[in-house]
């Protein structure tokens, strides 16, 4: 069975769930968001009812290595060196996988944690230079939106992953970020990050938008878990959640353990792209193997560059975005062959909010609230934590 859109009807996740999340989306008529609070309704600001724990993720098995050839890609896509290790994949369906590309034969192997391999070929889209299209027997839709783009040792794209929320085997195109440049040094983890995340079960989808800081030589993580989206230095003391970081079982993975609840832990990685950092978590809820968890964090910065990018959204569309200082637009294609155009107007996050985020304000009358962030050549949009927009996430790689 194929599932092209796995998000149908969502409600706010109850406090009995083990973790908070962050999601987002961009609708065909234009994405939108409020200023400063995670939970939004069409009429008023809500209060956060989800808890703020992180999931403990499954152990990642060791990685096999294949030599990779060199393909004459454009400067944007070409990695500066050929290396043996595959890419570590973090997917919005909650999976961690490995991706091997034979860039001479133009073939790929996507291997999941159980060792199951999805293999096929890829080819450049002549209508969109620098975008490569996966072929797969899993794809039966009118439009193949399983695509990817490359920058140095990073890939941003979409693939027909297993649908976590389905009781029977089904596939749906979902975004992913993959890297073969995960940070191996604990000290280098330090920094302030803006974070979007999603939790999606078979019946619910929620979002979480926050800022956190890693400090002390990569030893401590403090996240602001208030419903209002504060910078970490303006976050009220009672809303600061503290975690201790330790090396994971696999090089490049780290374990974060909540100080107040040591049974609550999660595995994460920090990828490097152009000297900047991308924080990544993908996993399943400990209490529900059919509930996916995804987190992406970008280094906090007041920079907001203009540019063009390409990427995927959780409903499975692929599109081109143009980001400007006060607005963005996206032209996209869905797997059913339809196309859409979205226009977003940016608002500030207020005097105490993150500098590297924007509220998207033009969809508020329809109850459509979203947030955007930039960093490390990533432009992402997430939905506010309400039934209209919770669980939607869009991830683009900027040129």
pLDDT > 70 fraction of the chain, expressed in percent and rounded: 80
Write down the pLDDT at residue 40: 55
- Inform me whether the pLDDT recorded for 25 exceeds 50: no
pLDDT > 90 fraction of the chain, expressed in percent and rounded: 75
Of 307, 308, 312, nearest in space to 296 by CA: 312
Question: Across residues 69-88, what is the average pLDDT?
Answer: 51
Write down the pLDDT at residue 338: 97
Q: Which residues of 240-261 are buried (b: 16+ CB within 10 A; e: fewer)?
A: bbebebeebebebbbbbbbeee
CA separation for the pair 122, 108 (Å, rounded): 7
Q: Per mean pLDDT, which of 48-52, 64-68, 221-225 is the most reliable?
A: 221-225
Write down the pLDDT at residue 262: 94
Q: Coil, strand, or helix at residue 199?
A: strand
Write down the pLDDT at residue 247: 98
pLDDT, one tens digit per residue, over 218-227 is: 999 999 999 9
The count of other CB atoms within 10 Å of the CB of residue 102 is 16
Write down the pLDDT at residue 286: 86
Write down the pLDDT at residue 65: 29
Between 50-64, 136-150, 185-199, the lowest mean confidence (pLDDT) is in: 50-64
Write down the pLDDT at residue 361: 87
Between 75-79, 121-125, 273-277, 323-327, the lowest mean confidence (pLDDT) is in: 75-79
Torsion of CA 349, 359, 374, 240, to 10 degrees: 50
Question: Across residues 24-33, what is the average pLDDT?
Answer: 35
pLDDT, one tens digit per residue, over 340-395 is: 999 999 999 999 999 999 999 888 777 789 999 999 999 999 999 999 999 999 99
Write down the pLDDT at residue 7: 35
Write down the pLDDT at residue 39: 65
pLDDT band of 36, cuts 50, 70, 90: confident
Question: Across residues 165-172, what is the average pLDDT?
Answer: 95
Share the mean pLDDT of the chain: 84
Write down the pLDDT at residue 366: 79
Question: Across residues 86-91, what is the average pLDDT?
Answer: 97
- Inform me whether the pLDDT recorded for 252 exceeds 90: yes
pLDDT, one tens digit per residue, over 329-343 is: 999 999 999 999 999
CA separation for the pair 368, 151 (Å, rounded): 32
To the question of domain 87-179 being in CATH 2.40.160, the answer is yes
The residue with tokens 């500066």 is 80
CA separation for the pair 86, 104 (Å, rounded): 15
Cβ(41)–Cβ(33) below 8 Å: no
pLDDT, one tens digit per residue, over 287-321 is: 899 999 999 999 999 999 999 999 999 999 999 99
Write down the pLDDT at residue 353: 97
Q: Which residues of 265-297 are buried (b: 16+ CB within 10 A; e: fewer)?
A: bbbbbbbbbeeebbbbbbbbbbebebbbbbbbb
pTM of the model: 0.84
Question: Across residues 139-154, what is the average pLDDT?
Answer: 97
- Inform me whether the pLDDT recorded for 32 exceeds 50: no
């Amino acid at each position: 069975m194929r599932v092209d859109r796995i998000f149908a009807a969502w409600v706010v996740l109850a406090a009995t769930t083990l973790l908070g999340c962050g999601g987002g989306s961009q609708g065909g008529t234009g994405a939108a968001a409020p200023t400063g609070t995670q939970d939004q309704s069409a009429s008023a600001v809500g209060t956060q009812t989800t808890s703020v724990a992180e999931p403990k993720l499954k152990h990642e098995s060791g990685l096999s290595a294949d030599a990779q050839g060199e393909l004459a890609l454009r400067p944007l896509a070409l990695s500066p060196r050929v290396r043996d290790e595959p890419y570590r994949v973090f997917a919005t369906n909650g999976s961690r996988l490995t991706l091997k590309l034979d860039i001479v034969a133009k073939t790929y192997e996507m291997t999941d944690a159980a060792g199951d391999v999805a293999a096929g070929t890829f080819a450049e889209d002549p209508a969109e230079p620098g975008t490569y299209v996966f072929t797969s027997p899993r794809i039966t839709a009118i439009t193949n939106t399983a695509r990817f783009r490359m920058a140095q040792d990073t890939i941003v794209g979409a693939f027909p992953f297993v649908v976590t929320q389905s009781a029977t085997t089904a596939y749906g195109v979902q975004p992913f970020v993959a890297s073969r440049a995960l940070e191996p040094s604990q000290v280098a983890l330090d920094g302030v990050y803006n974070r979007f995340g999603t939790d999606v079960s078979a019946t619910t989808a929620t979002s979480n938008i926050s800022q956190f800081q890693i400090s002390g030589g990569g030893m401590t993580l403090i996240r602001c878990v208030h419903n209002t989206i504060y910078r970490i230095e303006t976050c009220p003391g009672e809303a600061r959640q503290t975690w201790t970081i330790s090396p994971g079982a696999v090089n490049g993975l780290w374990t974060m353990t909540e100080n107040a609840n040591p049974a609550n832990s999660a595995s994460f990685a920090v990828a490097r792209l152009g000297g900047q950092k991308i924080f990544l978590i993908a996993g399943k809820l400990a209490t529900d193997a059919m509930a996916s968890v995804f987190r992406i964090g970008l280094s906090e910065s007041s920079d907001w560059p203009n540019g063009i990018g390409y990427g995927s959204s959780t409903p499975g569309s692929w599109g081109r975005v143009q980001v400007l200082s006060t607005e963005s637009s996206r032209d996209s294609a869905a797997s059913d062959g339809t196309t859409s155009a979205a226009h977003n107007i940016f608002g500030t996050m207020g005097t105490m909010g993150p500098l590297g985020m924007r509220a998207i304000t033009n969809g508020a009358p329809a109850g459509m609230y979203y947030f955007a962030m930039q960093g490390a050549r990533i432009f992402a949009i997430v939905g506010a934590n309400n039934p209209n927009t919770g669980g939607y996430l869009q991830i683009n790689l900027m040129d």
